[in-house]
């Protein structure tokens, strides 16, 4: 048959050209200028309809060509290249390099349970590729997402090594856990801190319901699909990536020094009518300097092996990442070792494909209390007076004479902290895919996620102050084993009929998450010498009273799901997609175990219409998209639907005066809520993708409206239920907004440059609360009380406090303040203790009484807009990139000052205090007693705009030319220097402006960890 075909082809060629027919088979790889394979490149024979498309790894094979044929390699967003074949081309590899272009329509992106060409997407999906990830020195995967795409906010509420980051996709829609679902190579994982960012090939963010509803019950907060680096059918390569950095705090709080401190408090005492005390000026300590670790090192080394054939490909790697904290280097640090193998094979006439991936991660971290006003070295450094020396004349840690409570010598505190967490995590996944028919594939995959987490803590004997001491040392240890596994079966069917193309997916998945834990403790380490090295439970006094242990199981969480999706495409012009998923969860009662999540989406490529042909010279691609769908969230913990049995008091059997015995009663503490169901998020998305000037300029726009219904929270019920408030579906939150992404790439000779920018606008509103008050309480902070809450018609978690109107400048101002008449008929001033120089609070309801009814919405921590901007350019091997990121329109409550701990150190801004009529209208007079509650009432004085723009990363690199390297058998070598967090533009005076948002109690700064300004030198080497 083959021979026959050859014969005819040959005959045809002979008759037309009259030349001697000699057929050529050409094969090769298409890559970009960095050597990265480009899948989906159109390879056509000029003047004919003959053509192929490169595979996932950039390879193509095209048969039966003749010398003189011209092969055209085209890929949108890249320069088209033509190559003429000669006789010598036959049987040779013909590799082609396509230049430039960053956004490509034919780029293939991961969607749930499959991949799809970007140009045919009907849903809002953003992707972050390997190159974006490499541009910054990330320690966590989440950082690689920050500022890269519209609609994704990534914030760190602490810059402590190993601290988690909050990732919010299109705002926060739940009262509980708003984290997205992470799927790594098809396996859902609990967190992604185990991953070395360098092992990631791409990340796709499924933002709208059309894309994420295939993940049903867990997709309400968006889904992040992570694909790790896979082996490629290429010669074996070894890649080394490494960098070494030094870190210093980006900023310090501006606090008073000893002179300012004494001046301020002496004046305060005079104002309070107290004779100024004689301050004992033992030192002028800058506690922040004392606890900061100068030039704290951070380093990363990773080696990756990659290579194989079409039949067997392998990628493996090991990496080490280590970071010392900016504060307390011994107690705030993080290290991670990872090792991985990824292998794929093809066999049985390429019908059978198998893959195995194994990932091991070992993480050791220790941290200090962050954003904790009650204690911890940071809160102490921010609040301890500068008069206390680090060490007193006897060499002991200095004890403050003026500050009390948990605020004690932070240098001493750091020494006495001994807490460490060690995690061993294995993530493994294996799949088998069989092509039953050419267009019908079955894939089965099984994955496990096993983690052992060990926590150890040792409290030595110490005394830092009369209230902060430990008389007997103690040690605790806990171990928890987490085991999750997941089995998935998916059938894929593709059909192409003329211009109609259908892709259908159906499958099921079954998931189980379990945990077991063991905890033990002991007091009084008897072994000598004492110390951390001997801090084991076995070394403590052994008796029943002092050695404790406990152990238990976590309730298994099980999920059983069925899903399907149909994509339809007519002539690359009209697209339609529908998905449906049914999820069964063990977390819900028998009647609500299953949730059903549909979605529909459609797209229209305007530029593929015949009548739009004239448009093509300006806009080569315009697509309109619309989608609607539903998602769920089962982040409610287990067994909420049944009632827990708890202590129900006791009853005495027998005579209580003599031999009676008290018998324990047990009863349900709440009524069961068997009807409890998924939180459902319903989202509509309208989008536009456009490419202009041959894709030099790209633009994406999305509008979304996301309503999270049936939010789970504790509801107040009538007394005749005889029960405490159960958890039920009782609130609704809406997030809606706009997202814009822009890209521009151009070149002038050897100079390539480009800009990528994105900006998102989000509006968050609580639309319904199912309790009588229509209000939910949020964060409570010492002295200030309840400072955030949620309310119908307001954003989730707004700052709730008093509005102020400057200061009382003189007695006339005081005489004019609002008054009320009390029950004895006396006229009472609203602020009875006010004096000139005190804060004037606003009586919102005009009743002359200052109370909760006068508290209003003072702002909230949900950014109105957030954006990212990256600039890059390269010229003859030199490249530079700048990445900036920011947010605005939101507020932060700066409550890092402890009011109940005595004469704490104060922000230097308080020196601009009121000292006489019209001296200032901002900072009230100095006072310790604070009779007017200038400081202790939570007011707009503490709520500060959180707008910022941060120069996140600047990198300057040089890539050696192939020519220079080939002598050393080196394929690629790049050296670079980089700076992170170089500068932040903000008016915020706290230590870090980047603050978490999106829960009812976020946005409150009670003394956080500074961001590191990091300078790095690094190298990428491949041979």
Partner 1 sequence: MKRYILHITMALLVLGAAACDDYLEVDNHTATTEDNFYQTEEDAYAALYAAYNAITDDKGGTNEFEFFLNMCSDDMFTGGGSSSDGTDVRRFEKHKMLVTDWQHDQFWWRGYVGIYRTNVALEKIPNITFGDETEKARILAELKFIRAYIYSNLVRMYENIPLITEPITLADADVGQADPDEVYEQIAQDYLAAIEDLPESVEGEEGRVTKYAAQAMLARVYLFYTGFYSQTDMPGVTLNVISSLVDNIIEDNHYGLVDNFADLWLVSGSDESYYSREHVYQIPYSYNGKGASRSDVQFYGLRDLSNTSTYAAGWGFGTIHPDVYNIFDPADERRNATILDANSEVGENEYSNSYQHTGYYFKKYTPLSKYVDDPAFSGHPDGRTVVRYADVLLMAAELSLKGGAFTRTAQSYFEEVRIRAGFTTHPPVSIDRIFEERRKEFFGEGLRYWDLLRQGIDVADAAITNNYESPFDVTFDKATRGIWPIADVQIQLSSSSSKPLKQNAGY
Instruction: Pick between residue 14 and residue 667 the one whose CB is nearest to partner 1.
Output: 667
Q: How far is the C-alpha of 395 from the C-alpha of 397, rounded, in Å? A: 7
Q: Does 93 bind partner 1 (CB under 8 A)?
A: no
586, 782, 783, 989: residue in contact with partner 1 (rule CB under 8 A): 586
660, 793, 846, 931: residue in contact with partner 1 (rule CB under 8 A): 660
* The two three-digit tokens of residue 399, written as one number: 């004890």
Question: Contact 70/62 with Cβ under 8 angstroms?
Answer: no
Instruction: Pick between residue 15 and residue 664 the one whose CB is nearest to partner 1.
Output: 664
Instruction: Pick between residue 56 and residue 352 the one whose CB is nearest to partner 1.
Output: 352
**Nearest approach, Cβ of residue 556 and partner 1 (Å):** 5
Q: What angle do CA 697, 698, 702 make, to 5 degrees?
A: 150
Instruction: Pick between residue 722 and residue 846 the one whose CB is nearest to partner 1.
Output: 722
650, 822, 853, 966: residue in contact with partner 1 (rule CB under 8 A): 650
**Nearest approach, Cβ of residue 128 and partner 1 (Å):** 34
Cα pseudo-dihedral 847, 853, 855, 860, rounded to 10: -140
Residue partners of 38: CB distance under 8 A and separation at least 6:
30, 31, 32, 54, 58, 75, 78, 98, 104
Question: Contact 941/907 with Cβ under 8 angstroms?
Answer: no
Q: Does 665 bind partner 1 (CB under 8 A)?
A: yes
* The two three-digit tokens of residue 661, written as one number: 């015995």
Plot region of 57 (φ>0 → left; ψ -120 to 50 → alpha; else → beta): alpha
**Nearest approach, Cβ of residue 561 and partner 1 (Å):** 9
Instruction: Pick between residue 574 and residue 639 the one whose CB is nearest to partner 1.
Output: 639
Residue pointed to by tokens 């000699």: 22
* The two three-digit tokens of residue 28, written as one number: 């090769």
Instruction: Pick between residue 484 and residue 870 the one whose CB is nearest to partner 1.
Output: 484
Q: How far is the C-alpha of 192 from the C-alpha of 164, rounded, in Å? A: 10
Question: Contact 170/376 with Cβ under 8 angstroms?
Answer: no
Q: Does 823 bind partner 1 (CB under 8 A)?
A: no
**Nearest approach, Cβ of residue 562 and partner 1 (Å):** 7
Give residues 756-815 in contact with partner 1 (rule: CB under 8 A): 772
Task: Kindly write down the DSSP assignment for every residue of 444-479, as one continuous string.
Answer: EEEEEEEEEEEEEEEE--EEEETTEEESS-EEEEEE
Q: How far is the C-alpha of 869 from the C-alpha of 886, rounded, in Å? A: 9
Count, residues in the chain: 1023
Q: Does 593 bind partner 1 (CB under 8 A)?
A: yes
- Is 210 exposed, middle or buried (CB count within 10 Å of its CB: 0-12, 13-18, 19+)? buried
664, 824, 845, 918: residue in contact with partner 1 (rule CB under 8 A): 664
Instruction: Pick between residue 533 and residue 823 the one whose CB is nearest to partner 1.
Output: 823
Backbone angles phi, psi at 876, to 5 degrees: 45, 55
Q: How far is the C-alpha of 38 from the C-alpha of 32, rounded, in Å? A: 7
Round the CA-based radius of gyration of the chain to a whole number and report it: 33
**Nearest approach, Cβ of residue 520 and partner 1 (Å):** 16
> Kind and range of the H or E element at 7?
helix 2-17
Q: SS3 sequence, 216-285? A: HHHCCCCEEEEEECCCCCCCCEEEEEEEEEEEEECCCCCECCHHHHHHHHHHHHHHCCCCCCCCCCCCCC
**Nearest approach, Cβ of residue 928 and partner 1 (Å):** 35
Give residues 505-524 in contact with partner 1 (rule: CB under 8 A): 508, 510
Q: Does 649 bind partner 1 (CB under 8 A)?
A: yes
Q: Does 878 bind partner 1 (CB under 8 A)?
A: no
Residue of 488, 198, 513 lying closest to 355 (CA atoms): 488
638, 684, 857, 989: residue in contact with partner 1 (rule CB under 8 A): 638
**Nearest approach, Cβ of residue 348 and partner 1 (Å):** 10
Give residues 687-716 in contact with partner 1 (rule: CB under 8 A): 716
Q: Does 648 bind partner 1 (CB under 8 A)?
A: yes
Instruction: Pick between residue 506 and residue 975 the one whose CB is nearest to partner 1.
Output: 506
User: Pattern 544-573, binding to partner 1, x per CB under 8 A?
Assistant: --------xx-xxxx-x-x-----------
531, 654, 806, 846: residue in contact with partner 1 (rule CB under 8 A): 654
Q: How far is the C-alpha of 840 from the C-alpha of 984, rounded, in Å? A: 33
Instruction: Pick between residue 570 and residue 721 the one whose CB is nearest to partner 1.
Output: 721
Q: Does 672 bind partner 1 (CB under 8 A)?
A: yes
Stretch that binds partner 1, among 38-46, 467-475, 658-666, 865-873 (CB under 8 A): 658-666
Give residues 392-451 in contact with partner 1 (rule: CB under 8 A): 434, 436-437, 442
Q: Does 495 bind partner 1 (CB under 8 A)?
A: no
* The two three-digit tokens of residue 1009, written as one number: 């960890």
Residue pointed to by tokens 């706290």: 990
Q: How far is the C-alpha of 797 from the C-alpha of 224, rounded, in Å? A: 25
Strand partners, 731: 711, 769
Q: How far is the C-alpha of 884 from the C-alpha of 727, rounded, in Å? A: 42
Stretch that binds partner 1, among 113-121, 391-399, 518-526, 666-674 (CB under 8 A): 666-674
Stretch that binds partner 1, among 66-74, 309-317, 654-662, 1012-1020 (CB under 8 A): 654-662
Q: How far is the C-alpha of 768 from the C-alpha of 713, rounded, in Å? A: 12
653, 821, 828, 1017: residue in contact with partner 1 (rule CB under 8 A): 653
**Nearest approach, Cβ of residue 446 and partner 1 (Å):** 12
671, 714, 949, 965: residue in contact with partner 1 (rule CB under 8 A): 671
Task: Kindly write down the DSSP assignment for every residue of 363-388, as one continuous string.
Answer: EEEE----S-TTSHHHHHHHHS-TTS
Residue partners of 914: CB distance under 8 A and separation at least 6:
807, 836, 837, 920, 923, 924, 925
Question: Contact 371/1008 with Cβ under 8 angstroms?
Answer: yes
Strand partners, 507: 490, 563
- Is 395 exposed, middle or buried (CB count within 10 Å of its CB: 0-12, 13-18, 19+)? exposed
Q: How far is the C-alpha of 910 from the C-alpha of 552, rounded, in Å? A: 52
Give residues 716-735 in contact with partner 1 (rule: CB under 8 A): 716-723, 726, 728
> Kind and range of the H or E element at 270?
helix 258-271
Task: Kindly write down the DSSP assignment for every residue of 479-495, as one continuous string.
Answer: EEEEEEEEEEEEEEEEE
**Nearest approach, Cβ of residue 768 and partner 1 (Å):** 13
Instruction: Pick between residue 448 and residue 757 the one whose CB is nearest to partner 1.
Output: 448
Stretch that binds partner 1, among 584-592, 804-812, 850-858, 984-992 (CB under 8 A): 584-592
User: Pattern 94-113, binding to partner 1, x per CB under 8 A?
Assistant: --------------------
Q: Does 498 bind partner 1 (CB under 8 A)?
A: no
Q: How far is CA 979 from CA 148, 253, 727, 976, 1018, in A?
A: 18, 22, 48, 10, 11
Q: Does 7 bind partner 1 (CB under 8 A)?
A: no
Residue count, binding to partner 1 (CB under 8 A)? 62
User: Pattern 942-971, binding to partner 1, x per CB under 8 A?
Assistant: ------------------------------
Instruction: Pick between residue 671 and residue 970 the one whose CB is nearest to partner 1.
Output: 671
Instruction: Pick between residue 466 and residue 718 the one whose CB is nearest to partner 1.
Output: 718
**Nearest approach, Cβ of residue 713 and partner 1 (Å):** 13
User: Pattern 309-328, binding to partner 1, x per CB under 8 A?
Assistant: --------------------
Binding stretches for partner 1 (CB under 8 A): 434, 436-437, 442, 489, 491, 508, 510, 552-553, 555-558, 560, 562, 584-586, 593, 638-639, 642-646, 648-657, 660-668, 671-675, 716-723, 726, 728, 772
């Amino acid at each position: 048959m083959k021979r026959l075909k050859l014969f005819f082809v040959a005959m045809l060629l002979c008759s037309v050209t009259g030349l001697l027919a000699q057929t050529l088979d050409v094969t090769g790889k298409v890559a970009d200028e960095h050597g990265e394979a480009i899948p989906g490149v159109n390879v056509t024979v000029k003047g004919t309809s003959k053509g192929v498309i490169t595979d996932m790894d950039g390879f193509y094979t095209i048969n039966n060509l003749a010398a003189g044929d011209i092969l055209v390699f085209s890929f949108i967003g890249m320069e088209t290249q033509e190559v003429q074949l000669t006789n010598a081309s036959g049987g040779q590899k013909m590799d082609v390099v396509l230049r430039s272009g960053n956004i490509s329509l034919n780029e293939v992106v991961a969607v749930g349970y499959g991949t799809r060409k970007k140009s045919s997407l009907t849903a809002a999906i953003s992707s972050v590729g390997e190159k974006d990830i490499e541009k910054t020195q990330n320690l966590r995967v989440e950082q690689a997402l920050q500022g890269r795409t519209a609609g994704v906010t990534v914030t760190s509420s602490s810059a402590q090594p190993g601290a988690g980051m909050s990732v919010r996709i299109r705002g926060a829609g739940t009262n509980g856990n708003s984290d997205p679902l992470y799927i790594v190579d098809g396996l859902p994982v609990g967190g992604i801190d185990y991953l070395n960012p360098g092992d990631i090939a791409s990340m796709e963010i499924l933002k709208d319901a059309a894309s994420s509803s295939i993940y049903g019950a867990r997709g309400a907060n968006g889904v992040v699909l992570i694909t790790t680096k896979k082996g490629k059918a290429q010669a074996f390569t070894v890649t080394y990536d490494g960098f070494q950095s030094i870190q210093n705090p980006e900023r310090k709080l501006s606090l008073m020094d000893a002179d300012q401190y004494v001046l301020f408090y002496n004046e305060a005492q005079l104002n309070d009518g107290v004779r100024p005390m004689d301050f004992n000026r033992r030192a002028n300590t800058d506690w922040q300097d004392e606890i900061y670790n100068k030039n704290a090192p951070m380093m990363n080394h990773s080696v990756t092996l990659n290579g194989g054939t079409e039949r067997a490909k392998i990628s493996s790697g090991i990496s080490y990442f280590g970071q010392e904290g900016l504060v307390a280097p011994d107690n705030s640090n993080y290290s991670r070792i990872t090792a991985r193998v990824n292998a794929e094979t093809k066999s049985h006439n390429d019908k059978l494909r198998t893959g195995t991936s194994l990932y091991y991660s070992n993480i050791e971290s220790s941290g200090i209390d962050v954003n904790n006003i009650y204690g911890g070295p940071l809160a102490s450094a921010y609040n301890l007076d500068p008069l206390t020396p680090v060490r007193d004349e006897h060499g002991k840690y200095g004890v403050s004479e003026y500050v009390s409570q948990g605020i004690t010598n932070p240098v001493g505190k750091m020494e006495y902290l001994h807490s460490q967490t060690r995690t061993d995590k294995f993530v493994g996944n294996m799949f088998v895919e069989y092509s039953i028919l050419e267009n019908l594939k079955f894939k089965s995959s099984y994955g496990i996620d096993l983690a052992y987490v060990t926590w150890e803590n040792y409290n030595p004997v110490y005394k830092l102050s009369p209230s902060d001491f430990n008389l007997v040392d103690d040690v605790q240890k806990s171990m928890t084993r987490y085991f999750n596994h997941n089995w998935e079966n998916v059938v894929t069917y593709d059909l192409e009929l003329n211009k109609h193309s259908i892709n259908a997916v159906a499958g099921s998945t079954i998931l189980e998450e379990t945990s077991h834990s063991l905890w033990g403790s002991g007091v009084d380490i008897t072994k000598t010498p004492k110390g951390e090295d001997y801090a084991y439970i076995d070394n403590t006094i052994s008796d029943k009273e002092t050695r404790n242990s406990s152990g238990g199981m976590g309730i298994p969480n099980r999920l059983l799901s069925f899903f399907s999706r149909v994509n339809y495409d007519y002539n690359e012009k009209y697209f339609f997609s529908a998905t449906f998923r049914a999820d069964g969860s063990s977390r819900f009662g028998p009647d609500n175990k299953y949730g059903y999540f549909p979605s529909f989406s459609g797209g229209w490529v305007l530029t593929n219409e015949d009548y739009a042909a004239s448009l093509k010279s300006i806009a080569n691609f315009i697509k309109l998209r619309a989608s609607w769908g539903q998602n769920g969230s089962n982040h409610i913990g287990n067994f909420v639907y049944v009632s827990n049995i708890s202590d129900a008091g006791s009853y005495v059997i027998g005579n209580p005066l003599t031999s009676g015995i008290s018998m324990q009663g047990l009863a349900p503490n709440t009524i069961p809520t068997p009807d409890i169901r998924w939180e459902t998020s319903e989202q509509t998305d309208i989008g536009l993708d456009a490419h202009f000037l041959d894709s030099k300029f790209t633009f994406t726009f999305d509008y979304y409206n996301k309503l999270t219904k049936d939010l789970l929270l504790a509801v107040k019920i009538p007394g005749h239920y005889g029960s405490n408030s159960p958890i039920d579906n009782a609130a609704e939150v809406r997030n809606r907004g706009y997202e814009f992404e822009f890209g521009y790439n151009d070149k002038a000779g050897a100079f390539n440059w480009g800009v990528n920018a994105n900006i998102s606008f989000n509006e968050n509103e609580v639309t319904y609360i199912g309790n009588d008050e229509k209000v939910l309480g949020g964060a409570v902070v010492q002295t200030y009380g309840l400072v955030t809450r949620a309310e119908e018609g307001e954003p989730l978690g707004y700052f709730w406090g008093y509005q102020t109107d400057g200061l009382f400048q003189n007695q006339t101002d005081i005489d004019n303040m609002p008054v009320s008449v009390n029950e004895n008929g006396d006229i009472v001033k609203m602020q009875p203790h006010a004096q000139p120089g005190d804060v004037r609070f606003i009586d919102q309801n005009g009743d002359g009484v200052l109370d909760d009814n006068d508290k209003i919405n003072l702002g909230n921590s949900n950014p109105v807009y957030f954006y990212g901007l990256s600039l890059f350019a390269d010229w003859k091997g030199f490249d530079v990139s700048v990445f900036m990121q920011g947010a605005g329109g939101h507020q932060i409550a700066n409550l890092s000052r402890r009011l109940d701990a005595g004469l704490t150190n104060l922000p230097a801004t308080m020196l601009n205090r009121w000292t006489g009529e019209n001296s200032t209208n901002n900072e009230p007079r100095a006072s310790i007693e604070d009779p007017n509650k200038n400081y202790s009432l939570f007011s707009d004085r503490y709520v500060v705009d959180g707008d910022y723009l941060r120069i996140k990363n600047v990198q300057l690199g040089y890539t050696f030319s192939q020519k220079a390297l080939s002598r050393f058998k080196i394929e690629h070598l790049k050296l670079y220097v980089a700076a992170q967090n170089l500068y932040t533009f903000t008016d915020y005076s706290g230590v870090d402006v980047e603050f978490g948002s999106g829960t009812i109690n976020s946005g409150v700064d009670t003394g956080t960890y500074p961001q590191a300004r990091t300078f790095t030198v690094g190298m990428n080497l491949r041979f």
